[in-house]
Structures are given as C-alpha cells and as structure tokens.
C-alpha cells in the first residue's frame, strides 16, 4: 500500500486510524496554515490535524463556512444563502457525512416544475411537451455544432446562428432563451456569451438525486470545524514563501509556518487583494486571469400566507427578457413556511446588486403579480444575497471561459515550491463549482502536502 492510499484510509476511517498516523509525525513538528474556513479549508485542516500536523486556520469572516452560510434570521426557517444542494447523493462525500450524522435532507424533484408564460398563464400540457422538444433540439444543436468547430468559442457564438434564423418566431426565441438561462446559465452562474462551448460542462458528477437540507448546510460545516484552531476576523493580506517556510500577514497578526494551504475563492485571487511574494508562477497567474468567477444571487420573500401552488417544487417564468426572475424554489413545499426563493444569475444579478432591497423586492413582486394576480400580498420580510459585492468572495463559484479547460483548473491547483498548496472548487477538475468538489480538493491538497 502506498502512502496516498494509506492517507485516504485515514481520512475515511478517522479516529483510531488517525491516532496511529500521529505516531508517524510528532505533533507540532510541522505547522501548516490553512487560509480560509470554507469547506475546502476545513476538509484540508481536518485531514492534516488527524495526520499529526499543527494546523491553524485563518478566516477573514467572523464566521466559518465561506460560501456556505445558513441564515437564522427567521428563527423558524433556516435559509441557505450560499450553497443549497448536495448534487448527486450516490457515493457523494457530503451525503455520506450527512447520513453518518443523521442530518436530514429532502430530495428535489426537478420534474415538479410549474412554468408560466409572460402573460401569467401556466403552460398547457401540449406546451410542456413542446418545451421538452425545444430542450432536446437545443442540446443536440450545441453538440453537433461543437463537433464542427476547430477552435473554442462562447456558447453564445454557437447558438447565435440558430437564434438568428428567420424561421424562429419571437415566441420560440423567448422559449429558447428561457431554457438557456434556467438550464445552463443558472447551473454555471454565467451568461452563455462567457461560457466555453468546448468545456463549459466538463467534469464528472455523482449519481442519484439532489437533496437540500431542512435545517441548513451549516450542519456540515459544524462537523468539519469541530476541534480545529480557527482564527476569525483574520484578513490575509500577504503570503511570503521560501525554502525556509511561509509567512502570512493578516490585518491583525504575522504567522510563520512550514507550509500553507490556500483556499481563497477565485474572485479574491483575481482581485489581487492578497499579495504573493515571490509572485505566483506564470501558469497559475494565467489560470487565475482566464477562469471566470460566476454569480448566482438569492432573494427570499416571506409572505403572510401561501398564495401559490404548494404542490410545486419549482416555479418558472418565461418572461420577455432573458434571465429576469425566471426560476423560483418553493420553500413552502418542503417546510410549510410561506417563503419563495428567487434566483438571478450573471448579468441580471450584477445589475440588481446595485439596487436597494426595496427595488429588488418591487421588481420581483411585479413578476409574481403577473403570474398570481395583482391582489397577492406584499412580503412581510426578505433576505437578499449580493455575492459579487461580498468582500471575501467577489462572486459565487467559478466557470470555464472560452479557451480554458480542465488543464486550466489543474494549473490553479498545482502546488508551488513545495510550500503552497491550493484547494477550492475552482481547483477541482472533476467537480468544479460544487461543495463536494471543494471538499475533495481540500483532501487532495492535504495529500499533496504530505507527499511533498
């Protein structure tokens, strides 16, 4: 058995096996600083601590979790403001953690999706059938067109020809744009004009259903953070590394360590807010520059009573403008609470982030009143995310732009000088833009650190 296999067994079995691992490395012999207490940082720190390293986690926020954040502002309704779903529960490490610790989840049935027209009427059965036909045609067109291309372009460039065809009516174009927004743009948190046609959906996925947490994703974070030395409100400003080790400067302190695991979100890496000395290798800088940081924002609206179909899990709106309040999750279906969750992504999300809460709610209500009538009540309260404006994220999750691919993600993940190791969803070639991808990337970075 090689060391990597042994370490994987340690990670999976924990406790007793980890104790024997500690005998191989005297505790305190080597100090590792993990930058970031999101799921990638916590999984790396947990593994390294079990293996006997002295681990310190530095987190800029006053809380752990990063882009996993369960709001408990409404005491009877915990709301996930960042990640919501476990995507594919079969053999998924996050699902295993939830199951092993009796954390309750509920399956989402994406077929239970009630869709409304721009005039507010629900689609007829025949219209639903046509929608499925359009979806199949669009997917086939993308596949066939990509096979004919020699160079990578944006999805918009691929689809622009079809959308410009004279025999496509305005109504058909509206439907196609709705499908592109809800199926592709919502999934990858980016406009189709920014997504790589060749690579936008590269990677793997776990089988099984998608599930959400009835009492919040933070339960997973609490498990991973338990027993770790986490320093909150430590905003990392500079990372220096050499043959002698690593020195990290924050807004409060100076930390010396033998090595560091960097789990900063791609948005922060792109911003240059954290300085590296010496500068990161050219390939890594290029990857940071080329990869895109997407945006998906949430608007939770709480009403005095349920006025929409409680039986529906998702509500769709084929509006006159692509991407404006096109998809809603019916929280009442899962919890009985009279709450709707509206999603916005990419360009429209960036536009609304500049609006006041009242403007956002008013615009959302205009759509809901188109669907359910002018007499529906105003919301009693709301909660709104602005992930692009979040100073410690600057976006939601990464995506592949034209000209990037799995090798770009590998470049971002590659260790530097045996001192710096990188993790996070944007470093995961197999499971980019997912919580399980971030989790597994943390384990992978810890393994690379041990092997170095």
Whether residue 395 is contained in a domain is answered as: no
In a domain, 314, yes or no: yes
Q: Is residue 303 located within the same domain as residue 379?
A: yes
How many other β-carbons are positioned within 10 Å of the β-carbon of residue 48?
Answer: 28
| Region at 182 (left for phi over 0; alpha for psi -120 to 50; beta for the rest) | alpha
Q: Is residue 47 part of a domain?
A: yes
Report yes or no on 391 lying in a domain: no
Is there a domain that residue 120 lies in?
A: no
Question: Does residue 394 form part of some domain?
Answer: no
Residue 156 structural domain: 125-194
Mind listing the pLDDT tens digit for each residue in 170-210?
888 899 999 999 999 999 999 999 999 999 999 999 999 99
CATH of the domain at 332: 3.90.660.10
CB 376 within 8 A of CB 364: no
**Closest-CA residue to 341 (of 383, 395, 393, 281):** 383
Q: For the chain, how many structural domains are there in total?
A: 3
- pLDDT tens, position by position, for the chain (452 residues)? 343 444 444 444 343 333 333 334 455 589 999 999 999 999 999 999 999 999 999 999 999 999 999 999 999 999 999 999 999 999 999 999 999 999 999 999 999 999 999 999 999 999 999 999 999 988 888 888 888 889 999 999 988 776 776 578 888 889 999 999 999 999 999 999 999 999 999 999 999 999 999 999 999 999 999 999 999 999 999 999 999 999 999 999 999 999 999 999 999 999 999 999 999 999 999 999 999 999 999 999 999 999 999 999 999 999 999 999 999 999 999 999 999 999 999 999 999 999 999 999 999 999 999 999 999 999 999 999 999 999 999 999 999 999 999 999 999 999 999 999 999 999 999 999 999 999 999 999 999 999 99
The CATH number of the domain holding residue 441 is 3.50.50.60
> Do both 105 and 145 map to the same domain?
no
Strands (E), 16-142: 31-35, 54-58, 70-71, 79-80, 85-86, 105-107, 113-116
Q: Is the pTM value of this prediction over 0.85?
A: yes
303 and 422 assigned to the same domain: no
Helix (H, G, I), strand (E, B) or coil at 101: coil
If asked whether residues 74 and 59 sit together in one domain, one would say no
Last residue of a domain, one of 163, 194, 225: 194
Same domain, yes or no: 210 and 301: yes
Same domain, yes or no, for 343 and 357? Answer: yes
Please check whether residues 423 and 282 belong to one and the same domain. yes
76 and 9 together in one domain? no
Q: Of 374, 344, 339, 375, which Cα lies nearest the Cα of 359?
A: 344
Same domain, 169 and 268: no
392 occurs within a structural domain: no
3-state secondary structure of 249: strand
If asked whether residues 89 and 187 sit together in one domain, one would say no
Are 89 and 160 contained in the same domain? no
CB-neighbour burial class of residue 117 (10 A; exposed 0-12, middle 13-18, buried 19+): buried
Quick one: tokens of 371?
Answer: 């669907």
How many CA atoms lie less than 13 Å away from 394 in the CB half-sphere?
14
Contact assessment for residue 196 and residue 405, using Cβ atoms and an 8 Å cutoff? yes
Q: Is residue 200 part of a domain?
A: no
User: Are residue 253 and residue 330 in the same domain, yes or no?
Assistant: no
| Strand, coil or helix: 129 | helix
Structure-token pair, residue 419: 């001192």
CB 241 within 8 A of CB 416: yes
């Amino acid at each position: 058995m090689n060391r990597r296999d042994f370490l994987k067994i340690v990670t999976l079995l924990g406790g007793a096996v980890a104790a024997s691992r500690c005998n191989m490395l005297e505790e305190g012999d080597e100090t590792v600083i993990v930058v970031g207490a999101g799921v990638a940082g916590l999984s790396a720190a947990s593994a390294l601590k079990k293996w006997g390293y002295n681990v310190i986690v530095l987190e800029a926020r006053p809380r752990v979790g990063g882009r996993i954040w369960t709001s408990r502002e409404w005491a009877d309704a915990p709301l996930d403001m960042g990640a919501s779903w476990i995507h594919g529960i079969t053999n998924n490490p996050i699902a295993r953690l939830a199951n092993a610790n009796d954390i309750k989840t509920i399956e989402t049935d994406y077929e239970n999706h009630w869709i409304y027209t721009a005039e507010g009427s629900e689609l007829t059965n025949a219209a639903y059938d046509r929608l499925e036909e359009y979806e199949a045609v669009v997917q086939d067109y993308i596949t066939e067109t990509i096979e004919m291309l020699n160079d990578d372009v944006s999805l918009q460039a691929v689809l622009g020809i079809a959308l410009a065809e004279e025999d496509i009516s305005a109504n058909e174009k509206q439907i196609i744009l709705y499908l592109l927004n809800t199926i592709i743009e919502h999934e990858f948190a980016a406009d189709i004009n920014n997504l790589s046609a060749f690579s936008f959906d590269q990677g793997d996925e776990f089988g099984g259903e998608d599930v959400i947490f009835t009492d919040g994703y933070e339960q997973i974070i609490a498990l991973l953070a338990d027993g770790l030395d986490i320093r909150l409100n430590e905003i990392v400003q500079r990372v220096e590394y050499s043959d002698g080790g690593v020195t990290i400067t924050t807004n409060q302190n100076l930390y010396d360590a033998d090595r560091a695991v960097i789990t900063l979100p791609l948005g922060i890496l792109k911003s240059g807010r954290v300085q590296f000395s010496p500068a990161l290798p050219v390939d890594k800088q290029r990857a940071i520059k080329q990869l895109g940081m997407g945006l998906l924002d949430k608007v939770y609206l709480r009403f005095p009573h349920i006025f929409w179909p409680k039986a529906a899990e998702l509500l769709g709106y084929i509006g006159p403008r692509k991407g404006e309040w096109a998809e809603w999750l019916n929280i009442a279906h899962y919890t009985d609470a009279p709450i709707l969750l509206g999603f916005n992504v990419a360009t429209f999300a960036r536009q609304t982030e500049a609006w006041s809460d009242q403007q956002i709610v008013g615009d959302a209500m205009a759509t809901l009143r188109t669907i359910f009538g002018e007499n529906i009540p105003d919301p009693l309260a709301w909660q709104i995310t602005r992930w692009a404006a979040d100073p410690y994220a600057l976006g939601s999750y990464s995506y592949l732009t034209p000209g990037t691919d799995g090798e770009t993600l590998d470049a971002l993940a590659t260790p530097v000088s045996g001192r710096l190791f990188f993790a996070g969803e944007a470093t995961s070639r197999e499971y980019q833009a997912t919580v399980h991808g971030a989790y597994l990337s943390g384990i992978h970075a810890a393994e690379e650190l041990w092997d170095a």
